[in-house]
């Protein structure tokens, strides 16, 4: 019996050498390109930024999860970095990993995905797989990528195959892209089978779903689940404070239950590239369908209020010292969006400090990983970790990097407000530390 176009394509991806192309060489795309090379494939990495391309060609990685040494090894093993889109036509699979931010009114900004789709429209050739990895609302792959891939008379599942496979990058974690299980969904059964064959060459574990829409919603569920549960514990943290109960003790106690409970902890807000953004893709798509996402909206309200609430708690502690917020030197400790990374984008720490600055505080920032120039750009005083911090009336611990000497901080600053429960986690008993 004669094999179908999809069966032949899937066999080629499973059994033969092939070339991958990655559009977008940022926090998702560069690790994906390196993973492809490590899997023994030739890879073409494309980025519209000439500066990024030149830096990568010189062996300088701008991504914390890809070391300079790993990049050099990938370049030596077949990674080609370019800003010339026509080279993408040489690839057998084009993987799109461009940013998908929110706009000013928290609606999806599809401009990067639309631009990538136009690139695909111009370079796609028969036999190619096109897979979108950028987080987005359900229906994007069908609505934007399929028309681009099938332009010019190319036929879906005969000439081109289209799928969605959400990125699951975890910056700062030792798990590599290839070690994280992959979810894959094709816009059709045939495209799904081809995408599964291709991705099995890249990752150790794969779960295929019935459609691109299901795969798109899978990613949104993962982070909406986290956002809603963080919203719940942030609200309970405020209630516990009013009732004079230690919320950290309560969570630790509940976490002893071996079933039916997963611990989430309060903090200064939600940060990173996923949790503050992804639920809003789903909420926006729901509004189009005239459906109210009440859990998502409520969690958003609670979480976005947390920076101001944390500033209120700081004001309470200063009042206990007989100090106003206005004119008082406050030290923000840790401004990255999560521990042990240098990435401060979408970090709630900045929102806490902005609220304190709005109230007149003199803000210094201590972070051993974030570039002091980034701190200065925000209008705050960078504080050197090796110097004295004792000229601040209070320190706000916002991100608990492992390299921070928390015991020393508590000794040198009259009061510490710990938004992360870090002193409890490390077993440091300091009477001048107050937890959120």
Catalytic residues: 274
The span from the CA of 206 to the CA of 192, in Å, is 12
429-435: list long-range contacts, CB under 8 Å, 24+ apart: 434/313, 434/317, 435/246, 435/248
Token duo for residue 382: 């960078």
Q: Which residue has the tokens 């499973």?
A: 14
Task: Quickly list H helices, 321-418.
Answer: 348-358, 372-377, 406-412
Tokens encoding 142: 């069908």
Q: Write phi, then psi, for 266 (nearest 5 degrees).
A: -75, 170
Strands 93-96, 19-23: pairing is: parallel
Distance separating alpha carbons of residues 392 and 412, to the nearest angstrom: 9
Residue 22 has a CB neighbour count (10 Å cut-off) of: 30
Q: DSSP letters of 122-175?
A: HH--TTEEEEE-S---TTHIIIIIHHHHTGGGPPBTTTEEEEE------TT-S-
CA distances from 420 to 86, 170, 423, 436 (A): 48, 19, 8, 7
How many CA atoms are closer than 13 Å to the CA of 215, on its beta-carbon side?
33
Alpha-carbon torsion (199, 74, 274, 46), positive or negative: negative
How far apart CA 147 and CA 156 sit, in angstroms, is: 9
431: helix, coil or strand? Answer: coil
Q: Please check whether residue 433 is in contact with residue 416, taking contact to mean a CB–CB distance below 8 angstroms.
A: yes
Closest CA to 363 of 395, 341, 317, 386: 395
The SS3 of residue 16 is: coil
């Amino acid at each position: 019996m004669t094999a179908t176009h999809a069966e032949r394509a899937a066999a080629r991806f499973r059994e033969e050498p092939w070339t991958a192309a990655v559009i977008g060489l940022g926090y998702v795309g560069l690790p994906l390109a390196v993973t492809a090379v490590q899997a023994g494939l030739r890879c073409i990495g494309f980025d519209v930024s000439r500066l990024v391309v030149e830096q990568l060609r010189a062996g300088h990685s701008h991504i914390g999860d890809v070391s300079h040494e790993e990049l050099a090894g990938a370049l030596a093993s077949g990674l080609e970095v370019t800003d010339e889109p026509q080279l993408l036509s040489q690839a057998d699979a084009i993987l799109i990993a461009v940013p998908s931010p929110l706009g000013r009114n928290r609606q999806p900004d599809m401009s990067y995905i639309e631009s990538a789709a136009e690139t695909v429209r111009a370079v796609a050739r028969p036999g190619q797989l096109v897979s979108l990895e950028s987080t987005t609302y359900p229906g994007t792959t069908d609505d934007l990528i399929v028309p681009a891939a099938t332009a010019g008379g190319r036929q879906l599942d005969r000439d081109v195959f289209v799928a969605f496979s959400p990125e699951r990058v975890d910056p700062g974690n030792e798990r590599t892209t290839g070690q994280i299980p992959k979810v894959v969904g094709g816009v059709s059964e045939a495209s799904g089978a081809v995408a599964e064959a291709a991705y099995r060459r890249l990752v150790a574990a794969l779960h295929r779903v019935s459609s691109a829409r299901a795969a798109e919603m899978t990613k949104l569920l993962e982070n909406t689940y986290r956002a809603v549960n963080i919203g719940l514990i942030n609200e309970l943290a405020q209630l516990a404070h009013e009732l004079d109960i230690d919320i950290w003790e309560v969570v630790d106690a509940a976490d002893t239950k071996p079933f039916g409970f997963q611990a989430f902890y309060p903090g200064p807000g939600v940060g990173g590239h996923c949790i503050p953004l992804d639920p809003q893709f789903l909420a926006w798509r729901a509004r189009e369908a005239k459906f109210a996402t009440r859990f998502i909206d409520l969690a958003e309200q609670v979480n976005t209020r947390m920076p101001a609430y944390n500033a209120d708690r700081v004001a309470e502690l200063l009042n206990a010292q007989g100090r106003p917020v206005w004119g008082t030197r406050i030290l923000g400790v840790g401004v990255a969006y999560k521990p042990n990374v240098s990435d401060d984008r979408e970090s709630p720490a900045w929102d806490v400090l902005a609220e304190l600055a709005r109230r007149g505080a003199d803000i210094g920032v201590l972070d051993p990983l974030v570039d002091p120039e980034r701190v200065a750009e925000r209008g705050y005083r960078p504080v050197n970790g090796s110097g004295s911090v004792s000229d601040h009336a209070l320190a706000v611990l916002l991100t608990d990097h492992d390299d921070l000497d928390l015991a020393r901080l508590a000794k040198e600053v009259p009061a510490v407000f710990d938004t992360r429960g870090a002193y409890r986690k490390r077993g440091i008993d300091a009477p001048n530390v107050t937890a959120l």
